[in-house]
Amino acid sequence: MSKRWKIRPHGSNWGDFGPDDQLGRLNLLNEARVLEAVKEVRTGRNFCLSMPLNLPGGNAINPSRLPPELKPVIREGRIAFDGPARRDNPMQTDLLCDDAMLIHSQYSTQWDSFAHIGAMFDADSDGTPEHVYYNGFKVVSEETGEGLYGDIGAVNLGIQNMAESCVQGRGVMIDLRAHYGNERRAVGYDELMAIMKKDKVEVAEGDLVCFHTGFADCIVEEAKTANPEPVGAVCTVLNGDDSCLLNWISESGLAALISDNVAVEQSSSVAREMTTPGPVLPLHEHCLFKIGVPLGELWHLSELATWLRENQRTRFLLTAPPLRMPGAVGSPATPVATV
């Protein structure tokens, strides 16, 4: 048992991958499973699963997350963009461009790390709930205060752990949009099992499971209009309140949950009235806090989902590391599917 905790949350896998583990179910993406995933490559065709990182545009989806800023680097007081090197030496023929980005790590296509969501939980069994994250870790050092902003990010469970694992394995597509179109609907366990049976989708231990809802496609299409408007509450979401669904996530052994919508689950629950203590986003708590399943959000899955359905396939090779930024709680990603 870890020195960090005496008891673990009900239904969690804390300690199952070792007392100091920070990868959770990504541990399942071993060499054998990568080789199995490679067998899904039959045509060599690639699909980019990222939206342009300046979408969804504005901050209507999340008021605290702002679009990226792209600026030129200033070199010796002058803009270093399309700048002739002969400024320094008349014999040099080069032209130079250099820029900088300020980006909110979870604005667009992204990964959530385990440092993104924790819970108030009495891990040391002293009767007082405390700030705890996956596998009993703290993200702020009680001794030094490191991890509070002003210092660098989370002292544990940062996104760099995911990046170092490479996040490559077998992707599995569950195409909710093919069954529900753009209808706003919270999909629970029974509906999900019926869809998987109808589409002959199998999820095995270590799979990276993708849910296509069409939400990101709506964002991309709206951005093409002359006067784009925020995309409202459309397309399917998972019902995080369905305990049978959460149990399936645990028992299936899947390594990651990915969707093209805002939060995988029904994020409108942020505004709901709560009469008893509990998580605002129960699927987030279950995956990120309890069982170490990272969440991918706002991926662009429509082109891949269409191709898979047309070719009567549901599986593919998925390569999707985040940025290797120590201490970050989330990261932009440019995932690649290969079929």
Ranges of each domain in the chain: 24-61+105-338, 69-102
Measure the CA dihedral 40/45/49/51, to 10°: 180
Report the alpha-carbon angle 58-286-4, nearest 5.
Answer: 110
pLDDT > 70: what percent of the chain? 94
SS3 254: coil
User: Which pLDDT does position 32 carry in this prediction?
Assistant: 98
**Cα gap 268→117, rounded to integer Å:** 17
pLDDT at 185: 94
The Cα–Cα gap between 259 and 217 comes to: 12
pTM: 0.93
- Picking from 321, 337, 329, the residue whose alpha carbon sits closest to that of residue 134 is 329
Distance CA(151)–CA(155), nearest Å, equals 10
Q: Quote the pLDDT of residue 59.
A: 87
> What pLDDT, on a 0 to 100 scale, did the predictor assign at position 283?
97
How far is the first Cα of the chain from the last one, in angstroms, to the nearest whole number? 42
pLDDT at 145: 60
β-pairing, 256-259 vs 295-297, is parallel
Tens digits of residue pLDDT in 10-66: 999 999 999 999 999 999 999 999 999 999 999 999 999 999 999 999 888 888 999
Segment 211-266, tens digit of pLDDT: 999 999 999 999 999 888 888 889 999 999 999 999 999 999 999 999 999 999 98
Q: What is the pLDDT of residue 269?
A: 47
Query: pLDDT value at position 150?
Result: 54
> What would the pLDDT profile of 186-223 be if each residue is shown by its tens digit?
999 999 999 999 999 999 999 999 999 999 999 999 99
The larger pLDDT score, comparing residue 274 to residue 297, is at: 297
Torsion, CA 315, CA 317, CA 323, CA 329, rounded to 10:
30
* pLDDT tops 70 at residue 76: yes
Return the amino acid letter for 98. Answer: D
Res 312: pLDDT: 97
Cα 187 from chain centroid (whole Å): 19
- Structure-block tokens of residue 251: 């028992």
Neighbours of 336 (CB within 10 A): 17
Rounded CA-CA distance 158/17 in Å is 17
DSSP code, position 222 = H
**Confidence at residue 35, expressed as pLDDT on a 0 to 100 scale:** 98
- The whole-number average pLDDT for the span 321-330 is 96
Q: What is the pLDDT of residues 130-184, one digit of tens each?
A: 999 999 999 987 766 666 655 678 999 999 999 999 999 999 999 999 999 999 9
The number of angstroms, rounded, from the C-alpha of 96 to the middle of its chain's C-alpha atoms is 35
Min mean pLDDT across 164-168, 267-271, 315-319 is at 267-271
The residue behind tokens 């009567």 is 312
Dist CA 172 CA 203 (whole Å): 7
On the question of pLDDT at 278 being above 80, the answer is yes
Tokens representing 300? 């662009």
Residue 84, strand partner residues? 95
**Mean pLDDT across 269-285:** 78
Is the pLDDT at 289 greater than 60? The verdict is yes
Q: Is the pLDDT of residue 108 over 70?
A: yes
Per the CATH hierarchy, to which homologous superfamily does domain 24-61+105-338 belong? Putative cyclase (3.50.30.50)
